[in-house]
Amino acid sequence: MFKVILKAIRIVVAIALITVSLWALLLPPAFPYSAHAIVNAKAVAIKAGDRGNIVYAPTTRTMLLPLGGTIARVSRDLSKLHRDLEERNFTKLKIEGRIKNLNEANDELQRKRLLAKSELDKKRISSGKLLRRSIVEIEEKVKLYAADLIEKKADQERVKPLFDDGIVTAAQWSETRQLKIMAEKSLKAAEAELTTIKNRLESFELGGDVQGGMVAKVEVYEQEAGNLEAQRLELRAELDEIKKQMDAARKYNKADSSYTLTTPIKGVVWHRYAVDGEPVTEDQVVAEVADTESLFVEAYFRRDFLNQVAIGDQATIYLLGDLRFVKGRVADIQVQEHSARVAKVINTVELDRSLLNVKIEIEGEGFESEDIGQLAKVLVSNGQPGLGERVQIWLSLLLRSHKD
């Protein structure tokens, strides 16, 4: 009887083993599972500020650094500061030379402007005197022409009766008339000239220009002087800024022969890109810090699971080589050919359009910083799996991890 029972047990176990083996080989996709996955974290690049030689603080990948923790010190390359000072000093000398040239040009321009203004004042005084003298002369001329016209009118009135009586010939009468007409024209011309000169004098006394070319010349000099002054003010402002920069650089040179690189986040130094004592350049990435508060699992699924995986789905994570199952949730899904590279401590695979890049957020405190880089398997299910589903998930992950 015992042998029969033992034989039956062996048969049942054999059938069970065969069933499990066939299920492991065929494994219908009841749940979407990852081809591979890795525990990852966001990375922050630490860059050197100035040129110098780097010396790292003693840290390891398992040594958690607080916010502001020291990563390294860099002994500054003071030759760069000296070169900067020399370049700024050269710029300062050039600006001072340009200001000196502007001052000399401005002095020469002011000399010409004063000379032109003096000549203009002299000519204005001379022109005023000349206009007044001309008015006096023309007024005398007007008086003479007016007296001559009176005389010519008297002659015409005297000759008219004689012409009418035939005593004076037509030629004599015509000549008398022509003399009177010419006297009228001469008087009108003198009066017009007097009016013109008086108008010019009035305009002159009101500030008008009697020497337009000279005034324009003075105005040009004044405009050029204003332009030179504006340029000089700009150069002086630029010179003051250069001097401030040089003073700051000198103080900086004396006070800070070295500086400290710190971490802007809480994390571990994952990678160093330079060795102790190695010279580094400005903005060179010298270290990479893993943000231990941003641990996630980066899983890659076959493309045919696209319609079976959704954001918010429950995810079960199995660490290979470690009998731990950790809960997670699908946070992001990216088609590989469209996904953008993000800053993370481990770049797992190249873009592959046959795979989906799925980010799994970890629920609770399932991983520590030392778990970064651990390989894993991920199985996704809708909602919270029941007891039967959890057993199936466990078997699926276990078998698939061995199968893959």
pLDDT given for residue 25 in this prediction: 46
Do the domain assignments include residue 282? no
Tally of CA atoms within 13 A in the half-sphere of 84 that contains its CB: 17
pLDDT value at residue 27? 47
Picking from 195, 215, 247, the residue at the C-terminal end of a domain is 247
Do 243 and 295 lie in one domain? The reply is no
Across 29-38, 203-212, 233-242, 363-372, least confident range: 203-212
Mean pLDDT of 368-390: 74
- Distance CA(401)–CA(404), nearest Å, equals 5
Per-residue pLDDT at 261 exceeds 70 = yes
Counted domains in the chain = 2
Is residue 18 a part of any domain in this protein?
no
- Please give the structure tokens belonging to residue 260: 């400290």
Q: For residue 66, tell me if it sits in a domain.
A: no
Average pLDDT over every residue of 140-162 = 81
pLDDT tens per residue, range 154-163? 878 887 787 7
Residues with Cβ within 8 Å of 108's Cβ and at least 6 positions away in sequence, in order, are none
Same domain, 212 and 107: yes
pLDDT of residue 157: 81
What is the CATH number for 173? 1.10.287
Is 56 inside any structural domain? no
Mark whether 226 and 119 lie in a shared domain. yes
Closest CA to 267 of 288, 252, 286: 288
- Looking at the structure, do residues 145 and 205 belong to the same domain, yes or no? yes
At 297 the pLDDT is 92
- Cα–Cα distances (Å) from 196 to 138, 143, 145, 201, 209, in that order, read 11, 17, 17, 9, 15
First to last CA, the chain: 43
- Is 178's pLDDT higher than 60? yes
For residue 238, the model assigns a pLDDT of 81
- Together in a domain, 174 and 238: yes
- Rounded to whole angstroms, the Cα distance separating 335 from 34 reads 14
Q: Is the pLDDT of residue 314 over 70?
A: yes
Measured CA to CA, the distance from residue 18 to residue 281 in angstroms comes to 63
Structural domain range at position 108: 91-247
pLDDT of residue 320: 78
Regarding whether 177 and 296 lie in a shared domain, the answer is no
Q: Does the pLDDT at position 106 exceed 50?
A: yes
In the listed set 247, 276, 303, which residue is the last one of a domain according to the structure?
Answer: 247
Q: Which CATH number characterizes residue 393's domain?
A: 2.40.30.170
Average pLDDT rounded to a whole number, residues 226-232:
78
Model pLDDT, residue 349: 64
Domain identity same for 312 and 177: no
Higher model confidence: residue 339 or residue 251? Answer: 251
In a shared domain, residues 102 and 232: yes
Structure tokens at 232: 């000089």
Q: Which of 90-94, 252-256, 373-377 has the lowest mean pLDDT?
A: 252-256
Look at residue 64 and tell me if it is in a domain.
no
Q: Which of 253-262, 291-300, 304-313, 335-344 has the lowest mean pLDDT?
A: 335-344
> Greater confidence, 213 or 8?
8
Query: 262 pLDDT exceeds 50?
Result: yes
**With a threshold of 0.75, does the pTM exceed it?**
no
Q: Give a yes or no: residue 217 inside a domain.
A: yes
Band the pLDDT of 22: cuts 50, 70, 90.
Answer: low
Residue 96 and residue 239 share a domain? yes
Quickly state the pLDDT bin for 252 (edges 50, 70, 90): low
Which of 213, 247, 281 is the endpoint of a domain? 247
Identity of the residue numbered 215: V
Q: Compute the distance between CA of residue 340 and CA of residue 357 in angstroms, rounded to an integer.
A: 10
Q: Are residues 115 and 236 in the same domain?
A: yes
pLDDT in tens, 28-67: 456 787 878 899 989 899 999 888 888 898 888 888 889 8
Residue 53 included in any domain: no
User: What is the average pLDDT across 75-80?
Assistant: 72
Pair 237, 356 in one domain? no
Query: Do 125 and 196 lie in a common domain?
Result: yes
C-alpha 379/C-alpha 314 separation (Å) is: 9
Residue 385 has pLDDT above 60, yes or no: no
**Residue 38 and residue 125: Cα distance in Å, rounded?**
99
Selection from 121-130, 139-148, 168-177 with the highest mean pLDDT: 139-148
